[in-house]
Amino acid sequence: MRKLTLILLLSFSSFAFGDGLPDLGDVSQTVLTPIQERQIGQQSMLEIRYTRQLLDDAEISDYLNQLGYRLVGYSSEPSLEFEFFALNDFGVNAFALPGGFIGVNAGLLLTTQSESELASVLSHEIAHVTQHHLARMVASQKGDTLASMAAIAVAILAARSNSQASQAALASVQARAVQKQLDFTRIHEQEADRIGLDILQKADFNAHAMPEFLERLQRATRLLEGNAPNYLRTHPITSDRIADIENRVNKQPYRLMPDSLDFQLVRSKLIGAQKTTVDAISYFNDALTTHKHGNPIAQRYGLVNALLRNNEVERASQELEILRTQAHASPQSQNNAMLATLSGQVKRATKASDTLDYYRTAVRNFPRHRALIYDYVDLLLQSKQAEIAVKLLAEQVVRHPADTTLYNLQARSYNQLNKSFEQHQAQAYSYAWQGNLFAAIEQLELAKQAGGSFYQLSTVESDLRELHEMLGARAKK
């Protein structure tokens, strides 16, 4: 069971860091297998995690994956494995990596004015993946190892996001010469628009949201006097391109599709996160009183979050009661995991006597909501119920094998049970998924010293070999 947690990370590493791709003749015919694409994307994700660019918020991540997989179901490859994630960057950008990894900047989540607009961006990126655009361009770097290709993909990501970072990142893989080759062409963009629009329509979103979003970004570019958002540099927008999309959507009736409550809650969470606690409280107060704009449930959710951050527990509890009344009156809000998680956090802050019972019921109601599970496990450990925590975490790790918070909680749980081998092994997996290979190796060595069964020690030895191979490959880049 434990070995399963490293399969995605390590199972193909010897292949990924071995010889270059075979000579397939003309570069235009060079392709990657699905396994190779996944390897490049996985290695790219390790680099992104290592640089701590990921937005560490399970609720935002789970929302993006829920929305993303709704769209993937209408793509040409509905069974393809995808991972949607957010970056802690308030610039406006989104991107796709080979193998189904799609990133969205926090800034783009805030720039989209409807869930259909966000869905239009994701469907466009999904089309880049299913059409294998970036994979084909990376594969055209004939003779490179898959590890080098992953490094090139990350370097291009850095170049598109930050001009200064681009110099160092591209130099590190000697990839300046291929930067232009990896930019999406007009043909790629048109194809992604066409296929993405089809996905958007089939998933029952407002198709008109795609040109509306692009037009708004284009207008913003003119106002910024040439300082274009990163999204426009990575996905060049022309009047012809917008016109082509408009011609397609004009054949469809304009439908105002209601946003999900989760979309609104995620936006409120991000608005609060980019402000100081005092400014966030002021912003949401103003939204609820003076100007009365936005979704009142989402705005009060943001206010309660900000009050908790500012340790105004009593007022947070009062505002939560108002929020509950509002949510009860709205069918869309009555069974919402994000609201349930916030309620639990307020209970914890007020030290309510029924807090543990509340979480036990909430986790039964929302067994896949990780933010709720994090808090529940923490409470279980505080009440010395590590056995229950270990069982719950084992189920979650299978669902989310790259979730470092789950491994950290596992390590704490095993420590409470005086299981040193399992504690160090769990901590090693957390470090490995963060790309901190040295720390992962150190923890596995400590696990060996702690001792275990023949099977456990064999697993550690196998993992150590893989990690040392990865370290050697990283040193050669």
Candidates 128, 82, 70, 111; CA nearest to 209 is: 111
Starting at the earlier edge strand, list the strands of the sheet with 83-87: 83-87, 101-105, 94-97
Count of the separate structural domains present in the chain: 2
Q: Looking at the structure, do residues 209 and 312 belong to the same domain, yes or no?
A: no
Distance CA 134, CA 143 (A): 17
Does residue 170 sit in the same domain as residue 312? no
Are 150 and 240 in the same domain? Answer: yes
Amino acid at 382: Q
Residues 208 and 277: their CA atoms lie apart, in Å, by: 36
The token pair at 121 is 């961006």
Q: Is residue 386 part of a domain?
A: no
**Alpha-carbon gap, residue 284 to 48, rounded angstroms:** 33
Examine the fold and report which residue of 200, 220, 249 is the final residue of a domain before the chain moves on. Answer: 249
The secondary element (H helix, E strand) that includes residue 16 is helix 13-16
Res 283: pLDDT = 97
CB 17 within 8 A of CB 469: yes
Confidence (pLDDT) at 215: 87
Do the domain assignments include residue 410?
Answer: no
Task: Give the per-residue SS3 of 178-239.
Answer: HHHHHCCCHHHHHHHHHHHHHHHHHCCCCCCHHHHHHHHHHHHHHHCCCCCCHHHHHCCCCH
Identify whether 452 is part of a domain. Answer: no
Tell me, what DSSP letter sits at residue 258?
P
User: From first to last of its 477 residues, what are the pLDDT tens digits of the chain?
Assistant: 344 344 334 433 433 333 333 332 333 335 778 888 888 888 888 878 887 889 999 999 999 999 999 999 999 999 999 999 999 988 888 888 889 999 999 999 999 999 999 999 999 999 999 998 877 776 666 555 555 556 655 654 554 455 444 444 434 443 443 444 445 567 888 899 999 999 999 999 999 999 999 888 877 655 444 455 555 556 666 677 888 899 999 888 888 889 999 999 999 999 999 999 999 999 999 999 988 888 999 999 999 999 999 999 999 999 999 999 999 888 777 789 999 999 999 999 999 999 999 999 999 999 999 999 999 999 999 999 999 999 999 999 999 999 999 999 999 999 999 999 999 999 999 999 988 999 999 999 999 999 999 999 999 999 999 999 888 877 766
Residue 311 lies in a domain: yes
Specify the pLDDT at position 233.
56
**Shared domain check, 265 and 243:** no
Round to whole Å and give the CA distance between 42 and 204: 31
In this structure, the answer to whether residues 147 and 51 fall within a common structural domain is: yes
pLDDT at residue 41 in the model: 86
Residue 364 resides in a domain: no
Separation of alpha carbons 216 and 33, rounded Å: 38
- So what's the pLDDT on residue 358? 97
**Together in a domain, 93 and 52:** yes
**327 and 236 within one domain:** no
Residue among 436, 426, 423, 417 nearest 397 (CA)? 426
Gap between the Cα atoms of 47 and 59, Å rounded:
22
Are both 155 and 297 inside the same structural domain?
no
Q: Is the same domain home to 64 and 193?
A: yes
- The residue type of 418 is N
20 is a domain residue: no
pLDDT recorded at residue 224: 41
Query: Residue 24: its pLDDT value, please?
Result: 29
Question: Are residues 240 and 267 located together in one domain of the fold?
Answer: no
Residue 468 domain-assigned? Answer: no
How far is 339 from 301, CA to CA, in rounded Å? 8
Distance CA 298, CA 336 (A): 12
Amino acid letter, 361: T
Q: Exposed, middle or buried, 118 (CB in 10 Å: 0-12/13-18/19+)?
A: buried
Torsion of CA 263, 264, 266, 269, to 10 degrees: 180
Q: Are 408 and 432 in contact (CB under 8 A)?
A: no
Say if CB 255 and CB 118 are below 8 A apart. no
Residues with Cβ within 8 Å of 258's Cβ and at least 6 positions away in sequence, in order, are none
pTM for this prediction: 0.86
Q: Quick one: tokens of 283? A: 């912003």
Percent helix, strand, coil in the chain, to 5, is: 70, 5, 30
Nearest-Å Rg of the Cα atoms of the chain is: 24
- The verdict on residue 367 lying in a domain is no
38 with 126, same domain: the answer is: yes
> Which residue segment(s) compose the domain that 218 sits in?
31-249
Q: What is the DSSP letter of 27?
A: G
Q: Rounded to whole angstroms, how far apart are CA atoms 303 and 281?
A: 6
Select from 318, 352, 386 the last residue of a domain.
352
Q: Which of 249, 276, 308 is the last residue of a domain?
A: 249
Q: 231 and 266, same structural domain?
A: no
